């Protein structure tokens, strides 16, 4: 069985330091996670650098792709937040593209035989990453909400047009709902990436185990293989969908910040 | 049987996997807080850097290109409609000129026809007058010749009458009597 050692589905999430670095007493080692953040971000920068090198009236292939992305997110922000959302567009765009690339690059298969530190790593499968992004969104919502509406921002917790006794019920619900936003935002993305990759590795593990068992079971191994292929296709959809959901929820929360006083 | 085998194999694999997980770490790698500062640092670096480049460079470039294209298309459409308007103006002018030219041509044709008609009428009148003159002259000549002829006939008749009377009665009648007798017969 030595040749068929099945990797634990958890091993893919391990953070492995590559270069030890520290900032004062804080550990900022270059890890496999950091490497994949750099690869993803570097790829995005390279793509947009190439796409905008010659901004032409008649766009080339790269520029067309960049423009499709631009219009997609631009429409998303305009439809959800309205014209005032324009100032948040760079943030939402960066968020969408960064998460999309992190999710998609996590789907690249690792080359067999490489040391673990060189395996593909999905940076968005870590709670701290998604939580940090969610906190940035919520911080923008709160800071801009108070800056724009002053104390009128609190109207967000008291939807108008209700009988007064309803507010005893509504306000706590709205407060809890508001406070749970960053958590739900963070956990939705993290859990989707985490669960998807676990299922993928479980199916792959079944294939290896069944082939290792030999005989008739090796033939049955085709079933989890088909399953793994299907889940891979599904994961590509999830990778896009979760980036989109994160971006659109950010827009919806920003809309609250912009229009809190209108409630 | 085969289903049972599959399930048992799956269970074995899952068990092995779970065991592997238990071996590799005490819990979720995600909840190993020691790795959080490093992840946060690199996230801030990459995401922040990307935001800086997007907001400062890439997005304005893409937006500018889209905007410029929109302006250009709008300009081109404006220009096209301007050209269309000019073309329509030219067509109207052409039609007007054509109508004027037609009217002028008709007027010229009518004038020419009238002129030619009057010329023809003049020539005809002239010819008629000439013919009438000639006819008159011819008639006059005929009358003259008739009168001359009748005078000659009368003279001959008178001479003959005188000769006949002279022969018959041997007496020369007076000119008056002969003239009267010839006139009575000629009447």
Place of tokens 């041509």: B105
Q: How far apart are CA A2 and CA A4, in angstroms?
A: 5
Q: Would you say A260 and A127 are in contact if contact means Cβ atoms under 8 Å apart?
A: no
B15 domain residue, yes or no:
no
For residue B88, what are the domain limits? 43-186
Measured CA distances, B98 to A19, B24, B103 (Å)? 89, 97, 9
**In this complex, which of A31, A45, A132 lies closest to B50 when CB atoms are compared?**
A45
Q: How far apart are CA A156 and CA A146, in angstroms?
A: 11
Query: Residue B59: pLDDT above 90?
Result: yes
Question: Which pLDDT tens digit goes with each residue over B18-30?
Answer: 444 444 445 788 8
CA A152 to chain centre: 32
User: What domain count does chain B have?
Assistant: 1
* Residues of chain A with C-beta less than 8 angstroms from the C-beta of B17: 6, 8-9, 201-202, 205
Say which residues have a Cβ less than 8 Å from residue B160's Cβ, sequence separation at least 6: none
Quote the ipTM score. Answer: 0.90
pLDDT of residue A1: 40
Q: How far apart are CA A93 and CA A69, in angstroms?
A: 9
Question: Which pLDDT tens digit goes with each residue over B64-107?
Answer: 999 999 999 999 999 999 999 999 999 999 999 999 999 999 99
> Sign of torsion, CA B3 B4 B6 B10?
positive
Instruction: Tell me if A126 and B59 make a contact (CB, 8 A cut-off).
Output: no
B20 domain residue, yes or no:
no
pLDDT of residue B18: 46
Q: Which two tokens stand for residue B24?
A: 């590799």
Instruction: Taking residues B13-39, report their average pLDDT.
Output: 66
Q: Which two tokens stand for residue A77?
A: 């922000």
Q: Count CB-CB contacts under 10 A for residue B31.
A: 13
Measured CA distances, B23 to A8, A9, A116, A117, B26 (Å)? 9, 12, 16, 18, 7
Instruction: Taking residues B172-183, report their average pLDDT.
Output: 80
Give the residue from B143, B185, B141 showing the smallest Cα distance to B161.
B185
Place of tokens 């007076």: B174
Nearest residue on chain B to A19, alpha-carbon basis: B38
CA dihedral A38, A238, A233, A224 (to 10 degrees): 100
Q: How far apart are CA A254 and CA A260, in angstroms?
A: 10
B83 domain residue, yes or no:
yes
Instruction: Tell me if B50 and A90 make a contact (CB, 8 A cut-off).
Output: no
Q: How far apart are CA A246 and CA A136, in angstroms?
A: 12
Return the residue in B26, B59, B63 with the most chain A beta carbons within 10 A, the one to mutate for interface testing: B59
Query: Residue B182: pLDDT above 80?
Result: no
- pLDDT, one tens digit for every residue, chain A (263 residues): 445 566 688 888 888 888 888 888 888 889 999 999 999 999 999 999 999 888 777 888 899 999 999 999 999 999 999 998 899 999 999 999 999 999 999 999 888 878 888 889 999 999 999 999 999 999 999 999 999 888 888 888 888 878 888 888 889 999 999 999 999 999 999 999 999 999 999 998 888 888 888 888 888 888 999 999 999 999 999 999 999 999 999 999 999 888 887 76
Break chain A into its structural domains and give their ranges: 2-262
DSSP A29: -
């Amino acid at each position: 069985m030595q040749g068929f050692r099945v990797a634990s589905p958890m091993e893919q999430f391990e953070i492995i330091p590559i270069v030890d670095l520290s900032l004062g007493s804080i550990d900022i080692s270059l890890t496999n996670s950091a490497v994949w953040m750099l690869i993803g971000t570097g790829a995005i920068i390279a793509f947009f650098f190439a796409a905008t090198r010659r901004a032409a009236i008649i766009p080339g292939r790269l520029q067309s792709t960049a423009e499709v992305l631009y219009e997609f997110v631009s429409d998303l922000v305009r439809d959800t937040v309205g014209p005032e959302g324009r100032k948040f567009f760079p943030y939402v765009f960066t968020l969408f593209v960064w998460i999309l690339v992190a999710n998609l690059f996590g789907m690249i298969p690792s080359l067999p035989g490489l040391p673990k530190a060189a395996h593909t790593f999905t940076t968005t499968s870590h709670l701290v990453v998604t939580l940090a992004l969610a906190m940035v969104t919520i911080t923008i919502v709160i800071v801009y909400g108070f800056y724009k509406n002053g104390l009128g921002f609190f109207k967000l917790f008291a939807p108008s047009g209700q009988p007064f006794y309803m507010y005893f019920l509504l306000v706590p619900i709205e407060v809890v709902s508001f406070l749970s936003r960053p958590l739900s935002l963070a956990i939705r993305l993290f859990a989707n990436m985490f669960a998807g990759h676990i299922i993928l590795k479980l199916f792959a593990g079944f294939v290896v185990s069944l082939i290792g068992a030999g005989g008739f079971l090796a033939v049955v191994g085709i079933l989890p293989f088909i399953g793994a292929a299907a889940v891979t296709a599904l994961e590509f959809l999830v990778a896009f969908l979760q980036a989109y959901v994160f971006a659109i929820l950010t827009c919806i929360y920003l809309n609250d910040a912009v229009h809190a006083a209108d409630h | 049987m085969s289903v049972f085998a599959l399930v048992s194999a799956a269970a074995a694999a899952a068990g092995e996997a779970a065991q592997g997980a238990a071996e590799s770490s005490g819990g979720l790698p995600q909840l190993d807080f020691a790795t959080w500062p490093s992840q946060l640092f690199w996230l801030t670096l990459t995401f922040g850097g990307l935001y800086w480049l997007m907001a400062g460079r890439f997005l304005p470039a893409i937006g500018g290109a889209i905007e410029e294209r929109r302006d250009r298309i709008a300009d081109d459409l404006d220009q096209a409609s301007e050209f269309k308007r000019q073309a329509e103006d030219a067509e109207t002018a052409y039609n007007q000129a054509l109508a004027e030219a037609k009217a002028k041509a008709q007027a010229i044709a009518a004038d020419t026809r009238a002129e030619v008609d009057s010329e023809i009428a003049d020539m005809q009148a002239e010819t008629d007058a000439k013919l009438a003159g000639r006819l008159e002259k011819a008639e006059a000549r005929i009358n003259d010749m008739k009168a001359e002829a009748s005078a000659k006939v009368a003279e001959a008749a008178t001479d003959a009458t005188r000769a006949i009377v002279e022969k018959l009665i041997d007496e020369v009648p007076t000119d008056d009597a002969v003239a009267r007798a010839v006139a009575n017969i000629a009447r």
